[in-house]
Amino acid sequence: MSKQIHLDNKRSPVVDEYHFSRLNDALEPYARAVQSCWSSCRCVRLYCTVPTCPSSNADLHDLKDLQSRCFGFIHALVKLLRTSGVYASYHLTFAPTSQVVVRALDAQHTCGQDHHCEDEKVALERASACDPHTATVLVLHDTPVLVAS
């Protein structure tokens, strides 16, 4: 795990950034980020973008493997959050991308708000600068975001 911290929110919306070589290694740090950001809220919704296009250096078998790991990760995350006292639900959206994106929001927020779309763009840009086949956990404007490829 590697970590980068950006404290000046005027220059960068990224507060915390962690990189993992495997998606499962990001499970507990992402759950801690969700609990930390939404500590006053006992109900969280996970918005998950599931990839439908393989990356340029992958094939359909790699895509299916990533989708399978994504579903396993989401179910393990929901279970981990619920055992820690946070009721978590999730919403899946299939998208023409090659990356998994998971955002944790208060259950009363809607995913379509403009600043959350901007957060996803920033997260994808940050994650694309990393090695392929990694998982990146970011906290953007108090919103935990995970990007995996």
pLDDT of 139 over the 90 cut: no
pTM: 0.80
- pLDDT at position 18 is 86
- pLDDT at position 58 is 83
Over residues 38-60, the pLDDT tens digits come to 877 778 999 998 999 888 888 89
- pLDDT at position 38 is 82
Is the distance from CB of 23 to CB of 40 less than 8 angstroms? Answer: no
pLDDT of 79 over the 70 cut: yes
Instruction: Count other C-beta atoms under 10 Å from residue 16's C-beta.
Output: 18
Enumerate the domain spans of the chain.
Answer: 2-6+15-148
SS (H, E, C) 106-144: ECCCCCCCHHHHHHHHHHHHHHHCCCCCCEEEEEECCEE
DSSP state of 55: -
- pLDDT at position 122 is 57
Cα–Cα distance, 139 to 5 (Å, whole number) = 10
Amino acid at 118: E
Mean pLDDT of the chain: 80
Cα–Cα distance, 64 to 44 (Å, whole number) = 27
pLDDT of 9 over the 50 cut: no
End-to-end CA distance of the chain: 16
pLDDT higher for 127 or 135? 135
Dihedral (CA of 80, 116, 124, 52) sign:
positive
What tokens does 18 get? 């962690």
Is the distance from CB of 81 to CB of 37 less than 8 angstroms? Answer: no
